[in-house]
Amino acid sequence: METIEEITKEILNCKKCDLYKTKTNYVPGSGNEHAEVVFVGEAPGREEDLKGEPFVGAAGKLLTEMLSKIGLRREDVFICNVLKCRPPNNRDPSPEEIEICGEYLKRQLDAIKPNMIVCLGRFATKFIFDLFGLEFSSISKVKGRIFEAQRWGKKIKIVPIYHPAAILYRPQLREEYEQQFRKIGELLSKKQPTLFDYI
């Protein structure tokens, strides 16, 4: 089974689509390769492109703050995006880019085998839902709901929520967002039952 380090090395040399020509840095993802939860965003923005790290701009600050409210540091989780290079002027990822680059995300998930995947926004949710055979209608219909899927020999949770940038534009959603993070925190701290829980 390949490691996150091996996948990262490959991403840092990728020329599979044209985005490598306009990017400053590749943004493979960062955090803990043994994380229980993976947060998936859309694509690097300007700050991420400059630093080579995901979610380090304004939306990233909000994500980091939400994590700390539920007792998690960025190093405790794994954070990445569907695309590993910034689309020029932050335009939407194209279906071809998602198909090509999404292979790296699938391999990252196979390497980490998380118990939970939190999808940040519409593009991440659509990608993860397709991957797990779940039906995606719209982010506003599925956000905050807990979906389950069978993968890596266990039951995993898939949690779609708004992209943190959406909360910056619509601060009235913040309370609901914090509530969704609290739920994520509670689900994470719930350990799997063992035999001792039944006797």
Per CB under 6 A, residues contacting ligand URA are 41-45, 48, 54-55, 57, 59-60, 81
- 75 vs 148, which CB is nearer to ligand URA? 75
Other Cβ atoms closer than 10 A to 176: 13
- State in angstroms the smallest separation of the CB of 80 from ligand URA: 8
- 48 vs 97, which CB is nearer to ligand URA? 48
Separation of alpha carbons 179 and 143, rounded Å: 12
Q: What is the number of the residue whose Cβ is closest to ligand URA?
A: 41
Place of tokens 């998936």: 40
Separation of alpha carbons 47 and 152, rounded Å: 34
- State in angstroms the smallest separation of the CB of 157 from ligand URA: 21
Q: Could you tell me if 97 and 138 are in contact, meaning their C-beta atoms sit under 8 angstroms apart? A: no
- 7 vs 83, which CB is nearer to ligand URA? 83
- State in angstroms the smallest separation of the CB of 197 from ligand URA: 38
- State in angstroms the smallest separation of the CB of 41 from ligand URA: 3
Handedness of CA 64, 126, 140, 84 (dihedral sign): positive
Q: Are strands 154-161 and 147-151 parallel, antiparallel or unpaired?
A: antiparallel
- 114 vs 164, which CB is nearer to ligand URA? 164
- 123 vs 147, which CB is nearer to ligand URA? 123
Q: Between the CA of residue 89 and those of 5, 16, 105, what are the distances in Å?
A: 29, 20, 22
Rg (CA), the chain: 16
- State in angstroms the smallest separation of the CB of 156 from ligand URA: 21
Separation of alpha carbons 157 and 169, rounded Å: 28
